[in-house]
Amino acid sequence: MPKSLNFYPYGKQSLDSEDIEAVVQTLKSDFLTTGPAVDEFERALESEAGVAHSIAISSGTAALHAAYFAAGVKPGDEIITTPLTFAATANAALYLGAKVKFVDVDEETGNLDPALLEEAIGPKTKLIAAVDFAGHPADYEKIQEIARANGLVTVGDAAHSLGATYQGRPVGQLADLTTLSFHPLKLITSAEGGAVLTDSPEYAQKLRDFRTHGIVKDKDRLLSPDEGPWFHEMQSLGFNYRLSDVQAALGRSQLAKLDRFLKRRQEIAKAYDEAFSDLPGIQLPIEKEEVSSAWHLYVLRVSDGAKARRRLFEKMQSLKLGVQVHYIPVYWHPHYQELGYSKGLCPKAETFYEQAISIPIYPALLDSDLQEIQERVRKAVRSTL
Ligand SMILES: Cc1ncc(COP(=O)(O)O)c(C=O)c1O
């Protein structure tokens, strides 16, 4: 009987007994929700990214919502972002009553194209949210320059790129506010979770308030400080976006392994680059000279476009490769269509979407797994393109 094929997802968490022990210890402690483990995780994130403040929060989506709030986004404002992202990057603006202007991408990296920013900026634009697609930092030098010249805030959605660098500087130091996600498929996980990184104490305070309903307890900040020792004030409208200590303990334990995880992702990307360089009809992802990518995703592109991509995708699935497409342009989703966005808005992002297939990349893949995946990819390409 032929050996049945292992299934390889496109991404997967890597947990070990240390991670499990860290969670168990927290379960035995006095704190379950936000307590000392959240504090420790935040300080560790600050030292990892070399930033002054890290605010742990319940998800990457909550991190975006909080970051846009801290930046002052209000009903009627506009934010600029890329359509080649998970919907959350745009949705967080809608939560605040703001509008989203989608700007097309650089066809090589899939990141926001800074050359198109000036013409997209209008009187209501408040911020530019770049996304480090697949782990490759966006072109922050140009984005920052344009943002500064126009009095705009920059947000880096670094859900894919914790640990990556741009011009030698780590993610976290590249935008005014940087958001992270610790969903299991991301670079490190806390099951669910996220964080916002910033050097600004004003943003940090707003983010902390937003995470707990807008409630202020610090006596120095109370409008009625003499009411009594129990007193606290809800000074703005916030949410319950707390990360729990149980999650933070896992995140902290995972963060200690980030360098090893990133090294393995780089090795896998290099192995794929070599194994697929001669395949016809396929374009491989690039890493620009000024960048060290976190390789959250390895996105192949099918030169022939939509129909060929579908054939190859289905063939790969039949060979038990858990492939995925990143991303359906956000404004293609029915909710955005109802808001008035039309297909065709960002042609380069749409072409990118029609060509893309993400293949398995995660630290737990062994060299023998890579051999197996490479064979299946080559077979699928040869038989469909
Ligand atoms: C680019 C990007 N931004 C934001 C998010 C949202 O993160 P979370 O799932 O932690 O809310 C994700 C997660 O899929 C993402 O890929």
pLDDT given for residue 4 in this prediction: 82
* pLDDT tens per residue, range 202-251: 999 999 999 999 999 999 999 999 999 999 999 999 999 999 999 999 99
The per-residue DSSP string of 8-48 comes to EES------HHHHHHHHHHHTSS-SSSSHHHHHHHHHHHHH
60's tokens: 């990457």
The per-residue DSSP string of 126-180 comes to EEEEEE-GGG----HHHHHHHHHHTT-EEEEE-TTTTT-EETTEETTSSSSEEEE
Atom of ligand 1 nearest to the CA of 326: 16
Cβ–ligand 1 contact at 194 (below 6 Å): yes
Give me the mean pLDDT over the 188-202 stretch. 98
To the nearest whole number, what is the mean pLDDT of the chain? 97
Cβ–ligand 1 contact at 131 (below 6 Å): yes
Among positive and negative, which fits the CA dihedral 139, 140, 146, 150? positive
Atom of ligand 1 nearest to the CA of 62: 11
pLDDT surpassing 90 at residue 110? yes
pLDDT surpassing 70 at residue 3? no
Cβ–ligand 1 contact at 19 (below 6 Å): no
Task: Classify burial at 122, counting beta carbons within 10 Å of its beta carbon; exposed 0-12, middle 13-18, buried 19 or more.
Answer: exposed
pLDDT given for residue 2 in this prediction: 56
Cβ–ligand 1 contact at 294 (below 6 Å): no
Give the SS3 label for residue 224. coil
Give me the mean pLDDT over the 323-330 stretch. 98
Cβ–ligand 1 contact at 60 (below 6 Å): yes
- Ligand 1 pocket mutation, candidates 13, 61, 326, criterion most atoms within 8 A of CB: 61
Give me the mean pLDDT over the 333-353 stretch. 98
| Percent of the chain at pLDDT exceeding 70 | 99
Give me the mean pLDDT over the 74-101 stretch. 98
pLDDT surpassing 80 at residue 166? yes
Cβ–ligand 1 contact at 161 (below 6 Å): no
| Percent of the chain at pLDDT exceeding 90 | 98
Cβ–ligand 1 contact at 181 (below 6 Å): yes
What distance in angstroms lies between residue 229's CA and the mean position of ligand 1's atoms? 40
Cβ–ligand 1 contact at 59 (below 6 Å): yes
326's tokens: 């990143």
Atom of ligand 1 nearest to the CA of 183: 10
Q: Tell me which residue of 216, 210, 205, 131 sits closest to 171, measured CA to CA.
A: 131
pLDDT surpassing 80 at residue 61? yes
Q: Which helix (H) or strand (E) holds 215?
A: strand 215-216
pLDDT given for residue 5 in this prediction: 87
What distance in angstroms lies between residue 117's CA and the mean position of ligand 1's atoms? 23
